[in-house]
Structure formats: structure tokens, C-alpha cells
Structure 1
Amino acid sequence: MQSRVFKPSVWLNFNHDGYPLVPFEQYLEVRNQHPTPNQDESAEMGVSNTAAQMQSLLTFGLIEGVVEKHVPECALTRKTSNGGTVITKDGLGHIIKDWARRICKNKDNYTPWLERAHTTLKRANSLLAGLVSLQFRCFEPLGDDAPSTVCLIAMIGEALANAKRAFKQSPPREGFAWGMVLTPHYHSLLEEDMLAQGWCPSVISYLTSTVSVSSLEYAVSCGPMNDGKDHQHCSPQSCATYVVDTTTYAAQHTSTCRSLLGRLRDTCYNISVDLREVEGLLLAGEIPVIKLDKDEDGHGYKLSVHKGRDVEYVAISHVWADGLGSTTEDGLPVCQIRRLTTLVGRQTAFWIDSLCIPRAESVRKKAIGMMAQTYSQAKAVLVLDRTLQLCQSTAPLGVRILRVLTSGWMQRLWTLQEAVLSKALYLNFADAQTPLNGLIPSTSVMLLSSHLTDLAGGLFRLTKKSAHGVYSVGDIARSLRWRTTNRPSDETLAIASLLGVQPSILVNIKSELRMIRLIQELGSIPSNVLFLKGSKLQVPGFRWLPSSFMAAQGASSGGSQLSTGSPDGRVTPRGLEATYYALKFPKTRIEEGKPWVLKDTKCDRLYEVVDPIHSVGSYECGMLLLPGWLFAANPSACVAVSILGHSSENDDGSFVVYTEYQRRLLIRKKPFLGEITAASGPSAISVAVSGSICVCVG
């Protein structure tokens, strides 16, 4: 099925060929064209001409501006069976490969060339952002072809930006957001098309809010895995097929179990390990691992328990919904244990929660406190996921990456820790086991495939700690956003070890206070945590702190994400201390649901402030905090705070202003004050002070 936003785009026959090669900003000028209709044109002709100009400028003009070589129309356009002409990105790979070859041959001008490419991409991206703010009105003459035209432009921008980034000596620069082209209308079209394909709503939300436009096109072209699951009861936040009712849950047999095939003489049965042995090892701080042996008469099977430090073992990472869940007391069917033994190697011990974690709460807490140790000390971690086991290891690299990213295993809470802490992570596909790092594309592959670079980023984050010794709270927040769990109280327990905090510190604390204690143990956190969407804790001093990093538990499912950079916010008993750009004004009561206006005469600026979620009740505030100086007219997150009336002086002579968190808002810069009529002024609240300030938000 072809999505309406990714179908071939009609080429509007702008006169591209036959002109000299010029920089991006001169592309229309050299063709004696202008982005507005001439006075002697009809309005309809002018609008159509503008659409053709913008289409050509942001495709051929952008490509030529970056690669600095003429690209003929025939390189990207082709005739259709009905006699029309469409433009695609099919020939873009050859253009980028040629560009890379020419850059590598021209070593002396290597850096300046990449600098010019960056400038061109930045100009094109800014122009596209302007068209987004105008709802792409210039492309309205294209009708149903408008979405695919806009998305093609974004994918070309992504491909060129990705190719520039692949050069090792490329100067580090800020990235470009091309996904902004998916306006609410285009997003709805894509969502409808993906639902019709059979994608789970939660996977659609994950993909559309996380990956690039190129990756979305690739996902749609592949379609979802045909795993027989019914997603009609799923939501954008979670997949209902992975919700387990532990009161009725029972481990499943393998699909090839003889008892399921009607061979009653080979009835399968559950076996388990000695509960006292497992509990004894756990209480002594030892990791219990399992081996399958023949029993004394040679006709049946038994499980033996060993200390993890005495033998090499493989830790199994799985999701209960796939049928391998249980406890030490209940055990697992023999068919499953025989399968596990075959997968890890008949002489190799293994650890799996279903056999090595008892049901009793006190011992379970002990085992959970040792989970990081369990997975980090295993010689390998083997991932078992039903969806992955339907995918061949010989499938195209992009398909395998996509199946991992959209698998049930990737959506669950505990599997994050299990992957990140592993020495070596293996994925069990239909026909072979593949190391996770074997799915990370090479530089030469990434150069020509922006969707692979983008998709592989989700897998690369799982290897950051083992490969580079780095894994921040920002990495965790990004990884948790689309994960779910049947036990929400386990969230902090599952991530504590990744941050160097002992889970045992949190186990016996009330679940609603665990997030506070975890952040206190860290001592610092990126200051942009203040602007994240989602539910917050209602504890004095910590009203700024998300109650969860998982969207299914009230965290943000979109918008800005927690920074993976240095944690520049200090956690204190009174709140979060950090430096923000502030707009201070007289204490004002803001009425529920009404937008309001701030007037900063000093900077000749006017701001409009709105509550995006229409919170109930009025509130008082005297200051807005922003991530930084507001440049564009696009809305930016800000936080309203009330000033508590006192401040303190730091050792360096700076002052800290103490405030109380009120709510997250959106602020937008309106036209300059000089352009505003006098009638709009009286209702505006005057800003007394603006600039960077150190505050403590409680």
C-alpha cells in the first residue's frame, strides 16, 4: 500500500535546465524568476508559478547548491505511463556518491566545501520552516500531490545533511529538523495510511514522533510484520497485546511441543528449580543460574542451580507476553527449557527471570536489586522476541533494524537495562543469532542511506555505555519514552543502575517518592527538564520533575526531549537551580484558558502566551522562564513561576532567585512593538526585567 504522503510527486515543469550553476540563493534570480507573481499575471497563474519555483528551488536548487555541480532534470524526473512527469529521489544516491568522490579528491578545499554545504542546507531549512508557518499555501495548486511534494523536499534535505555528516573531518554543527513538514494535516494522512497497513497505534506514535521523514517512508514501504496480532484495542501510548494479567497468566509451550501436536505419550510438564536454593543464593548476594540435565533414570529432566560467579552463563532477555513469563515457584514447560538450552548451548548455564526470581516480595526485591549485576556479568545476553523470530537474519539491513525498533522487546521497560548493561547482545532471528552491533551500518552505507543512519541511532543508544562508557539521564529519558510496563512502580528500579545508583536504595521507598530520591542521588540533571511536557510530581521543591519518563505513564509523547549533554541543573532540597532566560513582571493572576500578552519595551518585543493543554484554574505568576532568547516566531515552551520574595548570594557573587513552579506554557514572539497598533497595548503586561538569571524552581 502506498501512502498519500510518499507517492511520486508531480513535476511542475519549472525551467531548470539550461542555466549556469549558481549558489542556492541565486537559483531563482538567475532564471529571472521571483517568489511572487508578476503584476501582469493572473492570480491563479502566479500561485501555480510560485509552486513550481519552490518545488524546483528546494529540490534541484538545493542539491546543486550543496554538491556544486549541475544536476539535469532527467536525473530525478521520469515519465509516467499516462504521459505525465514525476520527480523522485531515486537518482539522489548516485549524485551523493559522485559528490563524496569529488570532495575526497579535493583535500585542500575539503573543509570550506563542507562549510558552504552547511550554509546552503541552513538557508533551505529556514525557507522550508517559513513555508510550514504558512501551511504550505504555495503548494495548494498541487492538490493531493502537495503532501508528497513537501515530504520529498524534506527527504532530499535529510539525505544531503546526512551525507555531509558522514565525512569524518566535517566540522561539528547543529543538526536540521526536517520533520517539521509533517503538519497536523499531513500527519493525520500518514497515520490513517499506517493504520490501514496494520501498524499498531503505539508504534505509529513512536515512529512519527521519533524518526525522520526518510525513515517513515521506509517503514511504510516495508509495512508492519505480519505476526497475527490484533491491535484494535491498542492506544497511541501502549500496545494492548503486551499487557499481561498476572493473575491469569500461564507460560506457553513452544509451537513444536509434542503434547500440542497430539502426541499424548509425550505430555509436556512444568519443571522448576529448588526454591530454597535460589532464595539462599539471592539472600547471600549470589546470582543463581540454571542448567538442564537428565534425571537419574535418564527418562526425564531436572534443573540444577549454580552460582553465577562459578560458571559462564547467558542471560535471557524477553517479554512475558511472548509466553516465557513465570516465577521460580511455578517453573516453565520442559519444551521451553529444552529450547532455551539449545539456544544458549547445551553445556552453557543460563539465567532467566522466570526461573531465577521467586514470587515472595522480599526475595523478589533482592533479585531486582541484583539485576544490573546479573546482566553485566553474563558472558552474553540473548534477546528472544516473537516478532524478531519471524524475521530472517538475511533480510535487508534496514528491515532488520526496523523490526528490532518496533518489536515488543524494544517497547518494554526492563529490557532497556538488560540491553545497555550487556557485554555482548545477540538477537535471535528466525534462522540465526545476530550481534546487535552487526546491525549498525558502516560509514559508507550511511553516506547513501539517511534512513539507515536515522533508524540505527535507536540501536546505537543501546551500545553507548558498553562501547563508550557514556549513558546519561537524557539517554534514558529518550529510550523510555515509548516503553511500557505492567508495574509502573518499577520504572526507577529499572534505570537506577544505568545511572550508577544502587536500586537497593529505592526498593523500600514509596513508589511515588522514588523518582525524587533517584534524582537527588544524581545531584544534577539537564536544565531543560523544566520544559518537558507531561505530568509532574506534586511534591514541594519537585513540582518541576516529571512523574515518569514513559509516555504511557503520563510523560511527554512529543515535543522537546531531555538533553543528553552535560547536566547543568543542580538538584537542591529547595528545587532545581539553573540559569534561564527570564521575563520578570509584576505579580499577575492569570485567568483560566485565556491567552495573555507580555510587552518588553526595553527589547522592543511583544509576546503572546498560551496554555496548550487548557489547565483548570487560574494561577499567579511574576516570571516566565525560557530555554534562551526567543529568535523565531514559532512557539517555544516556557514555564510560569511565582517569585517567593527572597534570594541568596552564591560564592561567586551571583544571586539565586527562589521561585515556585506553576505550569508549562507556550510563548510566541509577535511582530515588533513599533508595528503594533496602539489598541493592542493596554491589555499587555509590561516586562520589568529581561535577561539571563539564576533561579531555583521548587
Structure 2
Amino acid sequence: MVPLHKPPLPSLDNTFIFKDAPWLGGKHDGYPLLSFKDYRTAHPMTFTLSSRERAAQLQCVLTFGLLEAVMEVKILESTLLQQGVDNNCNIGGDRNKVFMTSKNFPALLKDWRNRVLQLGNGEPCQQWAKRIETTLYQAHALLRMDASNGFFYNAGLQSHELLDILFQIGSIVEALVSSRAIFPQNFVRRGFGSWSFILTRPYLQHTTDMVANGWCPFIVQILSGSVSMLGYARTCKHPHIRESSQAHRKCTTQSCVMNMIDTTNYVPKHVIGTCNCDKYKPSLENVISSLSVGKIPVIQCPLPHEELLSIDSVKMPYVSISHVWADGLGSTTEEGLPACQIKRLVTLTKQLTPNGAFWIDALCIPVVKDMRKRAIGLMAKTYNEAKVVLVIDSGIRTISVSAPREEKLLYVLSSGWMQRLWTLQEAILARKLVFEFSDGLVALEELLLTKEEIFNPLLAYLGVELFRLTKHQLRPGSLNISDVAHALR
């Protein structure tokens, strides 16, 4: 049996934090270490200043001012600012533009968390946590005010500059909130929820841009729950689109029509579009024989892969296939699947169990009404008793096992497989869940976060949905109403 691929864990310093954003020229160096309130007073946004200057002051307050107030340490401009080329400026680019970059940001966060740990659980640590809560509350109020007054929005910035600045500030705040988890749980009271409200005014623009670049509006809406997630997705290529001629033009923020099919005209797909191989199907009599006595029929395709055998699952361990019909693997026992697809499934499942036995609805659920009802009634048991549940999705299959953790998480979260109710049940009931990537198989546990990675807001927001799939197996009955609501969404 081929071992599952186990990609090396990436350094947290190498994960995406935020995209570089233009610095509007605010002055930070030379000021003493101040509370957030005092820093804001030292950087007034009076109307004697130009709109651009007010935006520059606000940017200073919501970056350096906020970071220093939370971390309680001086941070030089050179730590986060650097000169670079603005490729959006003109053909040659502006080589003297100053940007705020995340290059040293993870180190700042890590140093802050280490200093918190050194304090222990005593009164000084608790007081620091209270000061941070006050600071974040003040920052939240200031951002709410700007969402209405629009100092950034009215500063004459180009749309990409405005969005880069807002996404960067939102990502900084989310990173601070995530790192605050280093404090003892009873010291942290306010959760603050989503900070995506800062994107309210320019929301239409970044949504339009992403949809124009191939993203589904439904996925954009899901990702909008976190500034960090949406900001990262803006820098990524859109997920795989099955039918590029239609793309997501008919999708809405409520649903993706690309995953909906017309079962009356449905035809299983071949592995390659030019293939015209015959269909394989198991013995309908054997499948019905198993179902009629409450047993699960599983499939084997022994060499030379020219016939399908249907065997009771009690006789051997098997792999259960979880997929969406829109990817072309839908069918019934009577209809069967193309031989090329069968051979591909056998190749995959033999990496997970030596006998290559597998269950898939396309071959193990017949049309016959009473037997179909029995087979569907056995599905919970089918997925729960499988040695492995293998996820096959055309979107996930475009990503390499060596891709960055955040990229793998993003495309699993954006996949058609994550959008169907049937697959939700299949994933939650799985004893072991494995994903097919472009060049290997990866178990769910390899995608879950380490203790250090939960402090990265992007990884934390992306990873929480996959972690939710494991809760039932880790501790039956631990799924709460919030978990169910998020999963159903």
C-alpha cells in the first residue's frame, strides 16, 4: 500500500499575511510609546488637512499606532515600510513608492506572544489583556466611523490602492485578535466577530473584480466572513471551472449553479473527453442481494480490469468515494461507469487498501425503487464503516500536494464538494478522510493546523471549517448548533 503524502509543515513566517499596500506618507518615527487613544490624539484628522493627509494620519493610527498599543513596544517605520515599484502606476512603474509589507510582521507577533508567555498567569498578564481589549474596542469604533465617513474612500485613491490598504488593516487587526489567544482563556472576554465591515463601501468593487477574474459570487460571499481570507483569495487564481464557456455568470451570492445538474439528461464523463470506452457495471442481482439483507455492496475490479465484482462489505475493508455528480462520476448500478473511470478509481483506492475494494453511489445504488431506498438508508453506515473516505473533486484535484498550506485550504473550502449537503454527511461520518490532489493523496489531518498556526488569522479562518468535520469522530456529540449552521451554509 502506497503511504499517503505528508508534506513538510511550512514555517508560519512563510504563510500569506497581507498584500503590500501603499503608504500614504504618515509620520510615525519620533513619537514616544503611546496608548491607542493618545496616539490617535497625536495624529489628528482635522479638516484643516487635505483628504489625502487625513487618510495618511488614519493609516498611521490603524497600523503603527494599533500595533504599538497592543504589543507595548516601539516599532520603527523601517520594520514594516520599504520602497518598491508600483506596477499599477504606469508602464515603467514608480520606483520611489513606499509600501507597508508583512515581511517582518510574523516576527513582531511572535515576539509579542513570547513576552505574554513570560508574564505567566498573574495580575500583570491579566491587566495587559484588559488594555488590549480596550485598544481593540477603540480600533473597532474608529473603523466603524471610517466605514461611514470614508476618510480612505474620499482620499482620491485608486480603487486598487484603497482595497489594498483596507485589506491590509483588516488583516493586521485579525492577526492581533488571533494572537490574543495566547492569553489565558479567562483573560480574554470580547470576541469582536468579523471585521469585514471595513469593506462595506468598496465591497461592490472587490466583488466585481473577483467575479470578473473567474471567482464565483457564492464563494466570494463565503470568504467575506474574514478580511484575511478574502484578501488572500484576491491574490490567487480562481478555482477550477468545469465548463469555462458558462463560468459563474448565472451564480449568485446565495448559490453556485455550476454544481447543479439535470439528472434527466445526465451522462457520466470519461477521464479524457476524447475517450469512448465501454461502460462497466456490477451484477445488479448481487447488489440487490446484499441490499435486501441490509448489507453494503462494495466493488472490486481484479486484473485485467475487465469485470466488476460486487461483494458484501463485511468480507473486506473498503474505500468509500465522496464526490459531486457535476464532476461526471454520477450513475446507477444498472447504467454503470466508463471503464476509464473505473480503472482510475481502482488505481486510487489501491493506494488506500490493498484489495482495491470501494463503494461509490454510481455503482452501488440501483434505480429499483425499494432497493434504492434501502441503499440510501445505509449511506450513513456506508461512510462510517469505510476504512477511508476518499474525496474526489475536480477543483481540489488541480492543486499540488506541495502547494502552500493556505492555498490547499482555500481550494478545498472553495470546492464543489464543500458545497453539497450529501458530502457534509459523508465527511462528518468518515473515520479517515483523504483528499485527491493533482499529484498525490493527502489525509485531512495533514491539512489541520498546528498550535502555532492557529495564531495566523488566514490559516485559522480557512482551517476551522475542515476542523469542524473532525469533531464528531474526535468526540461524538460535540457538534453544536453553531457548527451545524456554519456547515450547512
Structure-2-length-normalised TM-score = 0.86
Find 1:455's aligned residue among 431, 441, 462. 462
Find 1:366's aligned residue among 368, 374, 381. 374
* Mapped partners of 2:103, 2:44: distance in 1: 29
- Give the partner amino acid of 1:250: V
Find 1:22's aligned residue among 16, 34, 38. 34
**Relative to 1, partners in 2 of residues 1:275 and 1:371: Cα closer, same or farther, differing over 3 Å?**
same
* Mapped partners of 1:350, 1:457: distance in 2: 29
Instruction: Tell me whether 1:354 sits opposite 2:362 in the alignment.
Output: yes
Assess if the C-alpha contact under 8 Å between 1:416 and 1:479 holds in 2.
yes
Larger % of strand: which? 1
Deviation at 1:114, TM superposition (A): 3.0
- Give the partner amino acid of 1:313: Y
**Relative to 1, partners in 2 of residues 1:160 and 1:417: Cα closer, same or farther, differing over 3 Å?**
same
Instruction: Tell me whether 1:252 sits opposite 2:262 in the alignment.
Output: no
Q: Determine helix, strand or coil for the equivalent of 1:143.
A: coil
Superposed, which structure 2 residues align to 1:120-135 within 5 Å?
120-132=135-147, 134-135=148-149
Residue 69 of structure 1 aligns with which residue?
A: 73
Deviation at 1:407, TM superposition (A): 1.1
Residue 119 of structure 1 aligns with which residue?
A: 134
Q: Tell me the percent identity.
A: 38
Q: 1:257-293 CA distances to partner (integer Å, 9 max, x unpaired)?
A: xxx46xxxxx732222222322232232211111123
Deviation at 1:362, TM superposition (A): 2.4
Residue 329 of structure 2 aligns with which residue?
A: 324
- Give the partner amino acid of 1:344: T
Instruction: Tell me whether 1:101 sits opposite 2:101 in the alignment.
Output: no
Q: Which has the higher contact order (CA 8 A, sep 6+)?
A: 2
Residue 476 of structure 1 aligns with which residue?
A: 484
Q: 1:339-390 CA distances to partner (integer Å, 9 max, x unpaired)?
A: 2122111513211101111112322222222211111111110011112222
Superposed, which structure 2 residues align to 1:507-526 within 5 Å?
none
Find 1:53's aligned residue among 52, 57, 76. 57
Deviation at 1:101, TM superposition (A): 2.3
**Relative to 1, partners in 2 of residues 1:305 and 1:35: Cα closer, same or farther, differing over 3 Å?**
same
**Relative to 1, partners in 2 of residues 1:168 and 1:453: Cα closer, same or farther, differing over 3 Å?**
farther
- Give the partner amino acid of 2:360: I
**Relative to 1, partners in 2 of residues 1:348 and 1:291: Cα closer, same or farther, differing over 3 Å?**
same
- Give the partner amino acid of 2:315: D
* Mapped partners of 2:340, 2:24: distance in 1: 62
* Mapped partners of 2:198, 2:112: distance in 1: 26
Residue 203 of structure 2 aligns with which residue?
A: 187
Q: Determine helix, strand or coil for the equivalent of 1:348.
A: coil
Listed as ranges, the gaps of 5+ residues in structure 1 are 1-5, 262-266, 482-698
Residue 79 of structure 1 aligns with which residue?
A: 83
Larger radius of gyration between Structure 1 and Structure 2: 1
- Give the partner amino acid of 2:261: V
Find 1:304's aligned residue among 306, 309, 318. 309
Instruction: Tell me whether 1:207 sits opposite 2:238 in the alignment.
Output: no
Deviation at 1:427, TM superposition (A): 0.2
* Mapped partners of 1:138, 1:249: distance in 2: 51
**Relative to 1, partners in 2 of residues 1:331 and 1:166: Cα closer, same or farther, differing over 3 Å?**
farther
Residue 165 of structure 1 aligns with which residue?
A: 181
Assess if the C-alpha contact under 8 Å between 2:434 and 2:441 holds in 1.
yes
- Give the partner amino acid of 1:58: L
Assess if the C-alpha contact under 8 Å between 2:113 and 2:182 holds in 1.
no
Find 1:403's aligned residue among 407, 411, 415. 411
Assess if the C-alpha contact under 8 Å between 1:327 and 1:359 holds in 2.
yes
Superposed, which structure 2 residues align to 1:26-45 within 5 Å?
26-29=38-41, 31=42, 33-37=43-47, 41=48, 45=49
* Mapped partners of 1:224, 1:292: distance in 2: 36
Assess if the C-alpha contact under 8 Å between 1:166 and 1:446 holds in 2.
no
Q: Determine helix, strand or coil for the equivalent of 1:433.
A: strand
Residue 154 of structure 2 aligns with which residue?
A: 140
Residue 4 of structure 2 aligns with which residue?
A: none
* Mapped partners of 2:378, 2:135: distance in 1: 52
- Give the partner amino acid of 1:97: K
Assess if the C-alpha contact under 8 Å between 2:409 and 2:447 holds in 1.
yes
- Give the partner amino acid of 2:212: A
- Give the partner amino acid of 1:403: Y
Deviation at 1:215, TM superposition (A): 1.1
Residue 338 of structure 2 aligns with which residue?
A: 333
Q: Determine helix, strand or coil for the equivalent of 1:57.
A: helix
* Mapped partners of 2:259, 2:113: distance in 1: 45
Instruction: Tell me whether 1:387 sits opposite 2:395 in the alignment.
Output: yes
* Mapped partners of 2:366, 2:222: distance in 1: 34
**Relative to 1, partners in 2 of residues 1:272 and 1:325: Cα closer, same or farther, differing over 3 Å?**
same
Q: 1:434-487 CA distances to partner (integer Å, 9 max, x unpaired)?
A: 01121112122332x311111111211111211232123432232222xxxxxx
**Relative to 1, partners in 2 of residues 1:148 and 1:338: Cα closer, same or farther, differing over 3 Å?**
closer
Residue 285 of structure 1 aligns with which residue?
A: 294
Equivalent pairs counted in the alignment come to 451
Assess if the C-alpha contact under 8 Å between 1:36 and 1:50 holds in 2.
yes
Deviation at 1:139, TM superposition (A): 5.0
**Relative to 1, partners in 2 of residues 1:269 and 1:48: Cα closer, same or farther, differing over 3 Å?**
closer
- Give the partner amino acid of 1:282: L
Assess if the C-alpha contact under 8 Å between 1:201 and 1:234 holds in 2.
no
Deviation at 1:170, TM superposition (A): 6.7
Assess if the C-alpha contact under 8 Å between 1:389 and 1:428 holds in 2.
yes
**Relative to 1, partners in 2 of residues 1:461 and 1:383: Cα closer, same or farther, differing over 3 Å?**
same
Assess if the C-alpha contact under 8 Å between 2:333 and 2:365 holds in 1.
yes
Assess if the C-alpha contact under 8 Å between 1:80 and 1:86 holds in 2.
yes
Deviation at 1:57, TM superposition (A): 1.2
Assess if the C-alpha contact under 8 Å between 2:284 and 2:366 holds in 1.
yes
Computed over aligned residues only, the root mean square deviation of the Cα atoms, in angstroms, reads: 2.4
Listed as ranges, the gaps of 5+ residues in structure 2 are 1-17, 86-93
Larger % of helix: which? 2
